[in-house]
Structure 1
Amino acid sequence: MAGTTPPPPPDNSNIQGLLIRGYTHPYSCHLLFSFQAASVTLNTKDFFAELYPKVQSAVDWGNNKPVSMLNIGLTFNGLSMLGVTQPNSTFPAEFQQGPWSSASQQSLGDFNASSPDNWWYNNFSNTALHCVVHAYGLTNDALNDLISFITNAALANGLTELLPIKDGDGRLYQSIIDDNPAKIHFGYVDGISEPALSMPSNHSSRNQADLDNFLIGYPQYSIIDPSPSGDASTNSEAKFAFDGFYNAFRILYQDVAGFDNFLIAQATNPNNVAKLAYLGLNQDELVEWFAAKLVGRWRNGSPLVLSPNAPDPATAKSENFGYATAGVPSPNQDVPSSFKCPFSAHTRVSNPRDQTLTPGEGNLGPVRIVRRGMSYGKELIGNTDDGVDRGLIGLFLCGSIAQQFEKLYGWMNYNNFSPKPDFSVKNPPQDALLGNRPTAPNLTNYPGVVSTFTIPIQNPATPDQPDSIVISGLPEFIQTRGTAYCLMPSLNALNYLATGVMA
C-alpha cells in the first residue's frame, strides 16, 4: 500500500474467519497463554508454525465444514514480547494500556466484585495474558483432539497456559443450555442483530455496518478510521495489523439464580400484578413479560416492537424494525415505541437503530460491533444458587476498541446517548441487563446515574392515561471475571510469526 493509492478490496483468504461468519460449531474452548521471555524468540515461531495450518480464514467453506479449526488473538503485551511493536507504537492507546486502564474503565465501569483487581480469580496478572486461541469442533472428540494439539504445541515451545475460571480444569469450554448452543444461561437466544459484513468488489457504497469499519488498514472508506494508520510499506506495525481486527475478549459471570428470582419477584409484586391485570397473564407468563422488557426481545428472540404481547416464531430473528414513529415530531417520535420496548432495555441500548441520538453520539447512526458469544459453566437447575461459575464468553469484534466497543459499553453504563424525553439528563439510567451498578465511592464515574428501570405501559382501555412500572434498585445481574483486548492478525501476519517472512 503506497502513498494515497487506495488498497484493493479485502481478501477473504487473509482475514480470520471469526469476523465474517458466526461459526455454528457446537463445541468450543478458549485457551489463554503467556509467553516466556527466555524462550519467546526461539520457540514461539515453532508454536505459530504448528498452529497456522489450522487457522480458519474467511473463505467460504461451502459444504466442507471443517471438523475442527482455530483462530488466534494477541494482546499488546504479547505483540511486544514477539517484537512486533515499536518504541513509539502507533497502536491505539486503549489497546496498548489494556481494558484495566483508568481510561478504559471510564466506559467499562468494572466496579466492586467486577474490578480488574479481581479478574481471572487472581490466578494470573492481567499483563501476563499474551495469546488467546479460540478452538472449535463439530464434535466433542474433535474439540478435545484439537485442544490436546494446541496445548502440546504450547508445552513443547515454552508457553504457559493460564487458567481463568475456578471450576473444572479452569478452561473456558462452551456449554450448551437447554440443548441449544445459541442460548445463554439467562434463557435468551443470542447471536441476533449482527452487522451484515459484505465483501463487494468495489467501495462505491459503504456504511457503518460494512467490513471497512471492522478491518484495519482501510481509512479511505472507514467511518471510524481504525488504527494503527499509516503507510504499510513503511510502518511495520501498520503492515502487521493490515487486514486484522480487534477482539474485546470478555468473561461475564451471570447470576442466574438472582436473575430468575428477580423476575419471579416482579411477577408476584401486588402493585405490578394490579397494573398489568389488563394483560390477562398468569404468573409464569408475567415472568416472561418482565424478562422480555429487560432485554427488548422475548427469550426466543422476537423483538418487542414487532411482537409486543407474546413471542412469535415468525419474528424470532427479525431485524427489520425501528423505534421512531412516523408522523410524530422529533424529539417525541421515539416515545410511542417505549410502550412496547423500554428505552433502557438491553437490545435497545446496544443498538438504538433509528432512535434519536444526542448530537455527537452517532451522527451517522449507532456504532456497531460483531458479537460472538457462548455460554460457559454448568446449566443451573432450579433457582437456588449452587456456587458454580457460569456465564458468557464474549468476543466483541471491532475495528476500533474505543469508538465501537467502549463507546457502546459507555452507553450501557450511562444512558445519556438520547435526549429528552427518552432519558433524564440529570438522572440517567443504565442498561437493564448489563449495567455495572456503581456504589460509593464509584458514583463519581457516573454522576447522577440511577438504578431504576422504567417500563411504560398503556392500557388499551385507557390509552389517554399512560402509566409505568418503576423498578427501584435494579440488581447487578452480571460480574466481570476478566477482559483482554486482542488483535486478531491477518493470515499473512500469522504466517510472519510462524516463518519470520511477511508477504
Structure 2
Amino acid sequence: MKSPPRKPATSRTPWGDHFDHVQRIVLCTPKQLGVQHLLLKFNGKGSPARRFLRKLSKDVTYTSRARDPDSDPQLSVGFTYRGLEALGLPCHVQLVLQKLAPSFHLGAPVQAATRLGDTGSSAPDRWDSDFQLEALHAVISLHYKDDACAAKLVERVRGLAGEFDVRVAEKPLRGENFTHGKTEERWVHFGYRDGLSKVGIRGWSDDPNRTGTLLPVSMHNPGEFLLGHPDDGGANPWALAAQPQAVRSFFCEASFGVLRQMEQDEPAFRGYLEEQAKRIVKGSGGAIKEASAIELVRAKLCGRFRDGQRIHPETQEPVGEPEGDFNYESDAKGEGCPFGAHVRRMNPRGGEIAHQRRHRPLLRRGAPYGRTWEEDKSADAERGLLGLFFCSSIENQFEHLLGEWADRVPMGNLDEGRAKDPLASHHEDPDANFVLPGDAMKRVGVTEFKGLKPFVRTRGTAYLLYPTSDGLEQLATEDHGHLWVDEVDREAFE
C-alpha cells in the first residue's frame, strides 16, 4: 500500500480527532483489569515480519475508541530498536533514533546497570531470557475483561506468529489489577492503593471534566509524551524539519514505552514493617498500638497511608480524603511525607530537589501480578509489578526518575538521609538512614529507619517505540523503502 503518510496535525484542540491514530494505551488508562504481555522475536526478518505486522495491525486499538472504554480486549504493540531493524526500518530513519534516543537505540539491558541502578540480583545478565537484548523485538499487550476473548486473541497472534516465523515467548507476562470489596479502587502489592496520581495533558484528557481541576505542576504539554510536540520547556527535538516528510510522519505522535517487570518480596517487606513498628510502640511507651505503628511505618516509607490519605505533619494521623493532585506546601519540612519517601521522590510536585527542577512526568499503565498477600503468605509465591510507562524521552524522564530520583542520596537540600527510594531501589548499605523529620517522631524516639532491604528485584526491562496507525502502516509497507523518501527529496538527492 503506497498511500502518502499523514502530515503532522497543526491545530490542537481538546478532544479533537488529531490524536485518533495514537495507540490508545498511550493516552488512556485501560478500564480492563486483566493484562497479558506477549514477548516476540522476528526470526523471519524483513518481508515476513512486515507481513505479520500488516495482519496484526488490524487488531491494534487507537484513541478513536477512547469514548468506548468497554472495548474488549484492547491490543497494543511496541517495538525495540532491534525489532525495528528486523522490520527493515531504513538506515536514515535508524540514524534519527540513534541521535535523539540513544538509550532506546542501545537497549535496556545495556543501559540498566548505569542508568537504572539495576545491579546485584537485578543485573541485566540475571534477567529472564526473553528480555535479553537480541531475544526481544516487540511486545504485544492485551488488556481485557473477558478471559475467553483474550484467549481467542492470543490464539490469533500465535497463529500469525507461526505463519510468519515469529517466536512468541511460551509464557506470557500476566497481570491483574485487584480491588478490595465492591469498590473500583485499584490496589497493588505491599498493600497500597494505586492509580491516585493524575497527569493532565494540555489539549487532551481521557476525562474532559478533569483537566481544569489539576494543579499547574500536574498539567503538561503533549510533547512530554508524544513526539513532534513542544515539551513543558518549549523544546521540540522531534520536529525533524530537515527530514523527509515521511520520516516526520513516522515519528509524529509516536511515544516511547518502557515495560519493566519488578518482583516484590512481600515477606521481607512485612517483616520490616513489624520490626520498625516495635520500635515505635516501645518509644511511645505503649501509647501507639502495634497495628497503628505498622500503618505509620508503611505510610512513612511510601509518603501516604495505604488508602492514599496524606500524613498530618503534627499528629501523624491520616488527613483529608485521598487526593490525586496536591503539592507539598503544607508539608515543606517533610514532617508528614519524608523527603526520601517513594511518592515524594517519584513526583516532587514542585518541591525542592537536589538538582534541576524540571518535572519528569510519566504516563503509568502498570498492573500487579501474582496472588495477594491475603491469598498466599508463602515465601516462594511469585508476585510483583508489570510496569508500563510512556514518555517522549527515556533518558530525561524514565531513566532520570529511576537512576537519579530513586537512587539519589540525599533527596534534596533539606533531606539528611542516606537511603535510596525505600520501595523501588536496590539497597546495598544496611546503615543507610531514612530520616523521619518532625517533633512527633522525636517524641517516640524514632527519627530514622535503617536496615532497608531490597524489597524488589528487576526481572527484565524493555525499551519500546509505540508508533501511530500511520507509523505501523509505514513499517508494514512492502515497497523497498520508497515510501520513506518523498518526491521532493528524491529530486534533491539526484
Shared fold by TM > 0.5? yes
Counterpart of 1:16 in structure 2 is 23
Q: What secondary structure is seen at the aligned counterpart in 2 of 1:216?
A: coil
Q: What secondary structure is seen at the aligned counterpart in 2 of 1:13?
A: coil
How far the C-alpha of 1:63 sits from its partner, in A, is 4.8
For the 8 Å contact 1:181–1:374, the answer to whether it is kept is no
Per-residue CA deviations over 1:150-169 (Å, capped at 9, x if unaligned) read 22222222110125xxxxxx
Q: Could you tell me how far apart the structure 2 residues matched to 1:27 and 1:172 are?
A: 11
Matches within 5 A, 1:339-350: 339-350=335-346
> Is the counterpart of residue 101 in structure 1 residue 82 in structure 2?
no
Per-residue CA deviations over 1:342-388 (Å, capped at 9, x if unaligned) read 11110010011131133x511x4x22111111011233447854323
2:356 to 355, 361, 365: 361
Counterpart of 1:252 in structure 2 is 262
How far the C-alpha of 1:214 sits from its partner, in A, is 0.9
Counterpart of 2:225 in structure 1 is 214
1:291 to 284, 293, 298: 298
How far the C-alpha of 1:81 sits from its partner, in A, is 1.1
For the 8 Å contact 2:300–2:338, the answer to whether it is kept is yes
Counterpart of 2:440 in structure 1 is 459
Matches within 5 A, 1:156-175: 156-163=163-170, 170-175=171-176
For the 8 Å contact 1:90–1:229, the answer to whether it is kept is no
Q: Could you tell me how far apart the structure 2 residues matched to 1:311 and 1:155 are?
A: 54
Counterpart of 2:57 in structure 1 is 52
Matches within 5 A, 1:8-407: 8-9=11-12, 11-36=18-43, 39-59=44-64, 61-63=66-68, 65-86=70-91, 89-91=95-97, 92-102=101-111, 104-120=112-128, 122=129, 125-163=132-170, 170-177=171-178, 179=180, 182-199=186-203, 209-219=220-230, 223=233, 225=235, 227-231=237-241, 234=244, 237-269=247-279, 272-277=280-285, 280-304=287-311, 309-311=316-318, 315-316=321-322, 318-325=323-330, 334-335=332-333, 338-358=334-354, 360-362=355-357, 364=358, 366-381=359-374, 384-407=377-400
How far the C-alpha of 1:15 sits from its partner, in A, is 0.9
Counterpart of 1:443 in structure 2 is none
Q: What secondary structure is seen at the aligned counterpart in 2 of 1:456?
A: coil
Counterpart of 1:412 in structure 2 is 406
Q: 1:500 to 1:217 in 2, by over 3 A?
A: farther
Q: Could you tell me how far apart the structure 2 residues matched to 1:200 and 1:435 are?
A: 33
TM value normalised by structure 1: 0.81
How far the C-alpha of 1:499 sits from its partner, in A, is 3.7
Q: Could you tell me how far apart the structure 1 residues matched to 2:110 and 2:219 are?
A: 27
For the 8 Å contact 2:340–2:411, the answer to whether it is kept is no
Q: Could you tell me how far apart the structure 2 residues matched to 1:305 and 1:398 are?
A: 33
How far the C-alpha of 1:23 sits from its partner, in A, is 0.8
For the 8 Å contact 1:429–1:451, the answer to whether it is kept is yes
How far the C-alpha of 1:467 sits from its partner, in A, is 5.8
Structure 2 gap ranges (5+): 206-215, 485-494
How far the C-alpha of 1:290 sits from its partner, in A, is 0.8
Q: Could you tell me how far apart the structure 1 residues matched to 2:270 and 2:301 are?
A: 12
Q: 1:123 to 1:206 in 2, by over 3 A?
A: closer
Q: 1:408 to 1:480 in 2, by over 3 A?
A: same
Amino acid paired to 1:24: K
Q: Could you tell me how far apart the structure 1 residues matched to 2:398 and 2:174 are?
A: 24
TM value normalised by structure 2: 0.83
Amino acid paired to 2:148: D
Q: What secondary structure is seen at the aligned counterpart in 2 of 1:19?
A: helix
How far the C-alpha of 1:24 sits from its partner, in A, is 1.3
Q: What secondary structure is seen at the aligned counterpart in 2 of 1:475?
A: coil
Counterpart of 1:470 in structure 2 is 448
Structure 1 gap ranges (5+): 164-169, 326-332, 440-448
Q: What secondary structure is seen at the aligned counterpart in 2 of 1:186?
A: helix
Q: Could you tell me how far apart the structure 2 residues matched to 1:383 and 1:190 are?
A: 20
Amino acid paired to 1:109: G
Q: What secondary structure is seen at the aligned counterpart in 1 of 2:311?
A: coil
Counterpart of 1:328 in structure 2 is none
For the 8 Å contact 1:306–1:321, the answer to whether it is kept is no
Per-residue CA deviations over 1:418-462 (Å, capped at 9, x if unaligned) read 22x2246xxx431111122246xxxxxxxxx963212224239x9
Counterpart of 1:429 in structure 2 is 419
Q: 1:72 to 1:437 in 2, by over 3 A?
A: same
Per-residue CA deviations over 1:166-214 (Å, capped at 9, x if unaligned) read xxxx32111344557721121111122131123269xxx9986222211
Q: Could you tell me how far apart the structure 1 residues matched to 2:159 and 2:185 are?
A: 28
How far the C-alpha of 1:276 sits from its partner, in A, is 3.9
Counterpart of 2:490 in structure 1 is none
Q: Percent sequence identity over matched residues? A: 25
For the 8 Å contact 2:42–2:166, the answer to whether it is kept is yes
Q: 1:302 to 1:389 in 2, by over 3 A?
A: same
Per-residue CA deviations over 1:311-339 (Å, capped at 9, x if unaligned) read 56x622x13432235xxxxxxx821xx11
For the 8 Å contact 2:405–2:411, the answer to whether it is kept is yes
Per-residue CA deviations over 1:72-115 (Å, capped at 9, x if unaligned) read 1001111111121526612111110112225x532311011100
Task: Tell me how many residue pairs correspond in the alignment.
Answer: 453
Q: 1:213 to 1:500 in 2, by over 3 A?
A: farther
